[in-house]
Chains A and B, each alone.
Chain A
């Protein structure tokens, strides 16, 4: 009987842990939805500016988060654009080509990059600016381009890792089948391994997009500012949604700004969870399609 009671206590504690965790998160998300839902109007984006004029660039948006949204989109496109080709190529190298010894060293470095705190990567970006400023051209300042490069360093290890794992987890039979038919290593990689690993690579890349969109620490050292308008040039300063949220939490001047902060936080949350869901669905759907076909 003693054992039974022990088991019941154990079960209870397990459920209690899960309930506490989920309850805490739901409370946070629920609070945000409660406070932020009212702000989800076109006004959140455009402020007092006419949406049509704002979108066509004929009017500046001063009290909406459109410039911050545009900044975040630019940031994500640039950084993931930099990191994707390099990351996928490196991942393929690790999974298919790398001799064990080479892989040991290089993969260790990539692992370290993956675990270096994002603020340190931001600091690296800042150091890069200072270095280039001194030795290349005094015109170089923290900017959209520098932020994108630093952010690319942040998401690069995610992309490498998901590519590598997606290829690694292909069934050994399939990995060998192409070569058995006389395909070269390159043909085998591009006609068999990559198509088979595509769902994993795509969903990993979408997660990288989410990571780039939500990161605040990297960009706050490399060029983001609270108010500058739409991102104009690669070498200019810009706004971004996560930084706007941070800024409002520390320096909101009135209730209207605070409401905007809630709205922006809710928008960022929806974007990130949306991307997360998309990554999940793609992985699942492509997998099941392959499954049925094979």
Chain B
């Protein structure tokens, strides 16, 4: 028999674990309750496809959905090749000293506050983009995507790097032995063997890109309109939540931000399940 103190300790630890995971459920429940009046009776579809015009009693989140779908994927597309290259540099060798510096620098990047990126972006990047576009304020899809790419790149690089390093050494030695160069080694051995890790890194980075608030809020312009080009200002789901100023907690306008919250929550959950799927296969191999 276990002594009583053993049992008590285990129970306390269990309570903490359950409490932590219940927060996740509590967030979902609160979003559902608060957003319910807007979601009931099939109105969720109207909400997802209609415009945001509070003056006309229209509280659709369609422009924000598209805003997020414009900024986040563009950021990922910008970040992916750069991250792949940098990760290959870290994972596939090259002179040790410089590579170590690159790795440390990338790790350090994860410690830079998002709001700092946003702040410098407003005063450094926005005027540059304004000049490039020749119109508007310079706060647009492209500006946000560029900064967001910097934010998600370390996530990708560190994930990719790990995946590249987990390729069995025997394969690398074998491919060296038959005289392949680094390029061939990377394309034909490392990438095919590490693609699950690469996928995992992309999924992780997708989560960060969808979920970031401050960069889009500070440099994307926040216009609740469907963007027509990368030089158009947009409002993302996240910044829509941040911008809400309704004093009346019962208004439909206020309720609509919980629809945004739910959408973001769903995306996050789906991505986590995806990552776990990918990881499980990795572990089984």
Contacts and interface: CB of A to CB of B under 8 A. Distances in A.
Interface size class of A (residues with CB under 8 A): 35 or more
Given A86-B16, A113-B21, A17 B86 contact: yes
Given A93-B16, A246-B118, A272-B112, 4 more contacts: A13-B85, A28-B117, A112-B24, A210-B111
A120 B210 CA distance: 12
Given A17-B83, A127-B258, A121 B16 contact: no
Given A21-B82, A115-B271, A116-B211, A90 B102 contact: no
Nearest to A258: B123
A110 interface: yes
Interface of A: 3-4, 6-7, 9-11, 13-18, 20-22, 24-25, 27-29, 31-32, 35, 85-87, 89-90, 92-94, 97-98, 105-124, 127-128, 130-131, 153, 156-157, 160, 184-186, 207, 210, 213-214, 216-217, 220-221, 242, 245-246, 248-250, 261-262, 265, 268-269, 272-273, 275-276, 280
Contact of A109 (B2, B21, B207, B217): B21
A127 B23 CA distance: 13
A86 B184 contact: no
26 contacts: A3-B184, A10-B186, A15-B85, A17-B83, A25-B150, A28-B124, A87-B20, A97-B13, A107-B21, A110-B20, A113-B20, A115-B207, A117-B213, A119-B211, A119-B264, A121-B27, A122-B242, A123-B258, A128-B30, A186-B6, A186-B10, A214-B113, A217-B238, A249-B119, A249-B122, A265-B119
Interface in B81-120: 81-86, 88-89, 92, 94, 102, 105-120
Nearest to A12: B85
A273 B108 contact: yes
B253 interface: no
Contacts of B238: 117, 119, 217
B40 interface: no
Contacts of B43: none
Q: Is the interface of B mostly helix, strand, loop or mixed?
A: helix
Given A11-B94, A17-B83, A17-B89, A108 B276 contact: yes
B27 A214 contact: no
A112 B108 contact: no
Contacts of A265: 115-116, 119-120
B261 interface: yes
Nearest to A4: B181
Most chain A Cβ neighbours within 10 Å, of B5, B9, B113, B114: B113
B30 A127 contact: yes
A144 B249 CA distance: 20
A273 B14 CA distance: 34
B274 to A, nearest CB: 11
B12 interface: yes
B229 to A, nearest CB: 23
A117 B210 CA distance: 8
B265 interface: yes
